[in-house]
Structure 1
Amino acid sequence: MPEQKYQRIQKELMAGAIALGCVFMIGTVWYSLVEGWSWEDAAYMTVITLATVGYGETHPLGNRGRLFTIALILMGVINIGYIVNRFTEAVIEGYFQEGIRLRQQRRIMESLSGHYIICGFSRTGRQIAKEFRAEGVNFVVIDSEVESVQRAQTEGYVVFQGDATLDDTLLKVGIERAMCIVAALPSDAENLYTVLSAKTLNPAIRAIARASTEEALQKLQRAGADAVISPYITGGKRMAAAALRPQILDFVDGILTGTDRQLYMEEFLLDPAFCPFVGQSLQKAKLRSQTGALVLAIRRLDGNLIGGPTGDTVLMPGDTLICMGTAEQLQSLNQVLGPIVSKKVRKPKNS
C-alpha cells in the first residue's frame, strides 16, 4: 500500500481528533463563562453531551443553553461519526499494519551503510538482485510499480516504492551511505536522471547504468556513470564468444556468477595505512604462497592496468588487486592484506 495513502488517513484521523478537541473546548468555555458554572461542571456537562449518554442536566438550563446543547450534540455526533468512519476504513484496509511496516522499513533504510541500490525490478533488476543475494551483499530495490514492489517483497528483498529519479527517494534509501547504484530502469531517460541525481547526492558512489542505444550509452558516460551496459551489445558479444570460445566463456561465467562455483574473482584495494606489503614486490610479498590466491591483474591509481603481473611488480599505494581463488583463499588474502580493503570477501549461500 503506498505511503501516501497511509499518510492521508493519518492526517484525517488527526484532523478529526483536533476537531473533537475544539468542540470540547467550545462546550466547556460556553458552560463556564456563559452559564456561569464551575470548570469541572462545565467539562463534565460537555463530555456527557458529546457522548450522548442521556444523563440529566448538571444545572438547569434556559432556552439559550438548551439550543447550544443541541448544537453541541450535533457537532459531537458529526465529529465522532467522522472519526469512527476513518478508523473503520483504516482497520479494514490495513492502514495500521501498513504504518508498522513503513516504520520498520524506515528503520531498515536508516541502518543501511555501504549497501547497493537497484533501481527497477524488471527482468534485468530481478537478475541483478538474484546475483547480489548469491554474493551475500546488502542491497535495496527501488521501483514505482505496485506489482514489482509486491513481487520483490514476496522474494524477500528489502524494497522501497518510489520514483528512483527523484532526490527524495534516493535520500530515503540512504544514497549518501551507499557504495553503488545500479540504474536498471526500462527508460534510458530515467536511467540518465537517476545517475545524475545519484552523483549529485553522493559523488563518490559507483554508478552502473543500463542503456538501450549507442547514443544513450554515450550520454550516460558523460553524465558520470562509471559503467554503462547495453544488453544488446553485451548479449551479442557473449553469443559470439559462446560460438567461438565456448570453454573460456563457461569458465569465466563459472567464476563470476552462480552459487555452486568453486573459484571466485575479487578485487582488493591496498590501503598504505593498513597493508604491510605496499612498496614490496609480489615475489617478496609472497601472497600466492601465503594464501593460495592468484593475482591476475593490478589496476594502478592512475587507471593503468597491469595484466599478468610478474614477481618483480611492485605494489603501490592505492593499487587494486584483481585476484582469483577459492572462497577460503580469498578470505585469507583479505586478512593478510589488512583490515580495510575495497570490500570483504563473502562466501555465497547455497540455494
Structure 2
Amino acid sequence: MYSTFEQKYQRIQKELMVGAIALGCVFLIGTLWYSIIEGWSLEDAAYMTVITLATVGYGETNPLGSRGRLFTIALILMGVINIGYIVNRFTAAVIEGYFQEGLRLRQQKRLMESLSRHYIICGFSRTGRQIAKEFRAEDVPFVVIDADNESIQRAQNEGYLAYLGDATLDDSLLKVGIQKATCIVAALPSDAENLYTVLSAKTLNPQIRAIARASTEEAVKKLQRGGADAVISPYITGGKRMAAAALRPQVLDFVDGILSGTDGELYMEEFLLDPAFCPVVGQNLQQAKLRSQSGALVLAIRRSDRTLIGGPTGDTPLMPQDTLICMGTAEQLRSLNQILGPINPRPLRRPKKI
C-alpha cells in the first residue's frame, strides 16, 4: 500500500519514462526513414533527425523531395509534441517537489532496511502518539505503521520514521523489519485488528515481544491466547489508577515519577541475565555484591517462567534468564550494567527519572 504522494511520484516516473521511450521511437523512425527511404548514410540520417526534432533550423543535410519534406514536417510535429510533453511533466515534478520528496523516500527506505532490534508502533492515534513520545524520550529506535495517510503524514511531520500500510498484513510487517524487531506494540483502534497484528507478528518472528491494546476484558483474554506478551486496556488501567489516586496518592505519585520521568535523581532499569555473558549467574544476591559494588538496589526479579520475586533477599539466587528490576542513580545503573556484562537485549537506554 502506498501513500497518495508515492502513487503520484510513481505516476510521474512512468509518464517521464513513457515520454522518453516515445521520443526514442520518433528518433528511430526518423533515422530509418532518411536511411532507407532517402538512401542516406546512418550518420547523416541520425544528424538530420536530431536537428529536425530540436527544430534548430540548420537546413537539410541532403536535398529532399516533396515526400521527404512532408515526412520532415510530420517528424517536427511529433518531436514538438513529445518534447513538450516531457518538459511539461518534468516542470510539474520540479514545482511540486516530487524529485526532492522521492529522494527523501529512498533515504527513508534505506533507513528502514537498516533497522535492527527496533520497536514497531502499529497505529498513530492518541495512544500511538503517546507511545512514540515516550520512545523518543528514551532514544529507542522505532517505526510507526498505520493505514491512514493523514496519520502517517502527522507522524512524519513530527520527525518519526513512518510507513503507510496495514499492520494486520504480513507484507506490511515485513516492510518495517518485523523479523529484526525487538518488540511490536499493537495500538490500533479495533481489538480484531490488534489480534490479527499479534498473530501475524508472532508467526513472522516468534521471539518478538508483543504488546497489545484491548477495549474489553474479553478482548484481553483473546489477545493473551493469541500470543500477546502483555495486554493493556486503557479503561481497566485508567480505573485502577483513579482508585489508587484516591486510596494511595503518595504511592501513585512515586509510580508516576517512574513512568513519566519527572525531575529527580533516581532511575529504574531492567537487566536480563544471560548465562553466556553474566558472571553472577548461579550466585545469590549476597555473593554477587551488586548493591555494594554499584550502589543500585534490586527491587524485584522476574524468573524466566514469569514468577515475580519482590524485595529479594541476600539468599535469593540469580538464575539464567532472570530479569532484574533495579533502581539507582544514572551512574549506579551504569556501574551495574558493567558488572553484569553485555547482557541487555538492547543497548542500555536513558534510565527513567523518578
TM-score of Structure 1 vs Structure 2, range by shorter chain: over 0.9
Match of 2:105 in 1: 102
Equivalent residues in 2 for 1:229-240, closer than 5 Å: 229-240=232-243
Which residue type is aligned with residue 165 of structure 2?
Answer: G
Which residue type is aligned with residue 328 of structure 2?
Answer: G
Match of 1:245 in 2: 248
How many angstroms apart in 2 are the aligned matches of 1:199 and 1:64?
Answer: 72
Match of 1:41 in 2: 44
Match of 1:214 in 2: 217
Is 1:334 the counterpart of 2:342? The answer is no
How many angstroms apart in 1 are the aligned matches of 2:18 and 2:39?
Answer: 30
Q: Please, which moves more after superposition, 115-124 or 193-202?
A: 193-202
Match of 1:310 in 2: 313
Match of 2:328 in 1: 325
Match of 1:8 in 2: 11
Equivalent residues in 2 for 1:125-274, closer than 5 Å: 125-274=128-277
How many angstroms apart in 2 are the aligned matches of 1:294 and 1:74?
Answer: 83
How many angstroms apart in 2 are the aligned matches of 1:36 and 1:260?
Answer: 88
**1:97-143 per-position Cα deviation (integer Å, ceiling 9, x unaligned):** 11111012112212221111112221111111111122121112223
Match of 2:120 in 1: 117
TM-score under structure 2 normalisation?
0.92
* SS of residue in 2 equivalent to 1:316: coil
| Percentage identity across paired residues of the two chains | 84
The size of the alignment, in residue pairs, is: 350
How many angstroms apart in 1 are the aligned matches of 2:232 and 2:307?
Answer: 22
Q: Which runs of 5+ in 2 are unaligned?
A: none
**Cα RMSD after superposing both structures:** 1.9
How many angstroms apart in 1 are the aligned matches of 2:141 and 2:103?
Answer: 22
* SS of residue in 1 equivalent to 2:283: coil
How many angstroms apart in 2 are the aligned matches of 1:287 and 1:244?
Answer: 35
- How much has 1:339 moved relative to structure 2? 1.4
Is 1:292 the counterpart of 2:295? The answer is yes
How many angstroms apart in 1 are the aligned matches of 2:70 and 2:324?
Answer: 86
Match of 1:55 in 2: 58
How many angstroms apart in 1 are the aligned matches of 2:334 and 2:262?
Answer: 17
Q: Which runs of 5+ in 1 are unaligned?
A: none
- How much has 1:223 moved relative to structure 2? 2.1
TM-score under structure 1 normalisation?
0.93
Q: Please, which moves more after superposition, 140-149 or 287-296?
A: 140-149
Q: Is the 8 A contact 2:27 2:50 kept in 1?
A: yes
How many angstroms apart in 2 are the aligned matches of 1:239 and 1:59?
Answer: 93
Match of 1:283 in 2: 286
Of 9, 33, 36, which residue of structure 2 is paired with 1:30? Answer: 33
Q: Is the 8 A contact 2:302 2:322 kept in 1?
A: yes
Of 64, 72, 76, which residue of structure 2 is paired with 1:73? Answer: 76
Q: Is the 8 A contact 2:272 2:345 kept in 1?
A: yes
* SS of residue in 2 equivalent to 1:2: helix
**1:30-67 per-position Cα deviation (integer Å, ceiling 9, x unaligned):** 21122211111111111111112222111122233223
How many angstroms apart in 2 are the aligned matches of 1:332 and 1:233?
Answer: 38
Q: Is the 8 A contact 2:261 2:352 kept in 1?
A: no
Which residue type is aligned with residue 325 of structure 2?
Answer: I
Is 1:347 the counterpart of 2:350? The answer is yes
Q: Is the 8 A contact 1:293 1:326 kept in 2?
A: yes
Q: Which runs of 4+ in 1 moved over 4 A?
A: none
